[in-house]
Structure 1
Amino acid sequence: MNHKVTLFAVVALLPFALLIVGFELLPLIAMIRDSFLADDGITYTFKQYVTAFTNPYYTKGILNSLLISLYSSIIGIAIAIAASYSMTRMSSKIQSILVTFSNLTSNFSGVPLAFAFIILLGNSGVFTLLFKEWGWNITGSFDLYSWGGLVAVYVYFQVPLAILLLYPAYSGIHKHWREAAAVLGASSFQFWLRIGFPVIIPSVVGTFSILLANAMGAYATAYALVGGSYNLLPIRIGALVAGDVATRPQLGSALAVILGLMMVVAMWCNERMMRRFRRDLR
C-alpha cells in the first residue's frame, strides 16, 4: 500500500519537476555556459566577466542597482516595522482587511505600477496638475523620472511585501510578556529593548535580505518608467540580450550571473547574521 502511495506521489510531482527543469534549471545552465563564451559564441573565455568588472559603464550599473536596492529596502523596512505593529493594535477584522490589501498591493508592480505613477505624478499627471492649480509646482522639487522617483516607485512595492513578512513576527510577542514586564517595573522602552526587538530582529533581517534581492531583480518597473536612460543592471542585461541596436547575449549572461551572485550573497549574509543572532540569544 505504501509503495503504491509513493509511486502515485512521484507521478503526481513529475509535471512540476519537468516545469522546474525546463523553465528554471536548463535556462540557468545555459546562461552560465553562455557567460563563458566569447562574442562569437564558440570560444570559451573569461572576457565577458573582465568587461563587466572593468568597463565603467557596467560597473556603474552594478553600483546603481545596489544603491537603489539598499535605499528602497531600508526605507521600506522602516515603514513596514511601524505599519505592522500598528496593524496588531487593531481589531481582527481590520487586520484581515489590511493583510488582504497588502497582499494585493505587493503584487502590483512592473509596467502597471510604473504607468500608474506616470498618470498620477508624471509631468502631466493628475496630482502634478492638481498641485499646480493650488500654486505648488512639485516638478521643481520632485522628478518622477529621476533617482528619487525610482526610489519612490521601488518603495511602493517594497512596503506591502515587507508588511506581509513582518506582520506574523509580532504574533511571537505574547501579551502576558508585556504584562509580566510591567509588573516587574519595566517601562515600554525597556520591554521593547530587551524583549520585543530581540524577538522580531531575525524576521527584520530576513525580510531586509528578501527586499534587497527583490529590488535588485526588478526590471519591468524601472524600464517602463525611465527606459534605457538610467543605468541599472537589469536594464543593461535586457539591452544586451534584446537590444534594438546591437546585442551581446554572452555579456548579458555574464551580468545576469553577477546579479544572481549578488542576490545569493545577500541571502547568505542574512543566514549568517540570523544564525549568529540566534546563538547569542541562547
Structure 2
Amino acid sequence: MAYVPGVALLVALVAGCSAGSDADDPAADSKPGSPTVTAAPPGKYRTLPESCRAVPLSTLKDLLPGAAGLPEDQQEKVYEGTAAVTYDTDRKVGCRWKSDAPDASRNLSIDFERVVSYDPAVSDDDRARDVYAKKQDAAALPTTSAGATPSETTGGSASASAGSTPSGSPGGSSSASPSADPSGNTTDADPDEDLRPRLLDELGDAAFLDDTLTRAGSTAQHRTVSVVFRTSNVIVTVQYMEQPARVTEVPDSRELQEKAQALARNLDEALSD
C-alpha cells in the first residue's frame, strides 16, 4: 500500500483534537482528593428578644423598689422601660429602667448584641468570642491564675493578684459598719466570698462581673455592677446601679451583685429556651 503524506497528517490532527477536548471539560480540572472549602457555620441565634419585655414584672419590682410608692399609672411607665436607640434591631437591642425613692435611686439596663461574621472562613461564634474578649479586656479584671486563658477563661473565678486594688473597692455597705478592710469589704462579711471584679462560672459560654464605685463632686457615691456574658453569637450586658440619697452612704456590693447575676442567669435561660 502506498504511503500518502496528506492522509497521515489528517489522522494526526484528528487524534490531537480528540485528546485535547478534555481541556474544555470542567470536570477534567478537578483533582482527585482535593479538599472542599466549606463555609463556617452560622451562629445559633438569628434574632434577638424584645428587650423591654425580657425582664419579668416581678423582677423589675424587686430591682426598682422606688416605683412601688408611685401612683399606678406612673408605676406602669417605670416598668415599661425605655428602648435603647438602635438602627438595626436584628443586631442590637436594649432597654433602660429608672426608679427614684427618698433613700436611693436605681437604674437598670440590659443590652443584647447579635454578632455576625461576614468572613465565610470565620464562624459567628468565633467572631463573638473576639468581641467578648475585647469587652473583658476593657474591664481590666484582676489577673487570672497561672495558666488561665486571658479571654473566656472558664472553670473558676479569677483571683486578684497580690497588691492589686479592685475596681471601685466593692463590698461597701449602705449601712454603717464598725470597720472595714482596705478593699472596702466589711469585717462581718463572709471571708470566703469574693466581691471583687471577676470571671463567673456557669453563665453562658463565658462571663465576667465588674463592680465600680464612683463619686461625682459632692454628690453621693454610686455603684454600678455590670455582668457581661456570651452565649453562642449573642453577647448580653446587664448593668445595675444604685445611688443613695445621703452622701455618707455607700451602696452594698453584695446586694447589687446578687441581683444583677440572678437577672443575667434568667436572661441566659430565656435565650436557651
Length-normalised TM-score, structure 1: 0.20
Larger Rg: 2
Length-normalised TM-score, structure 2: 0.20
Higher RCO structure, 1 or 2 (CA under 8 Å, sep 6+)? 1
User: Which of the pair is proportionally richer in helix?
Assistant: 1
User: Which of the pair is proportionally richer in strand?
Assistant: 2
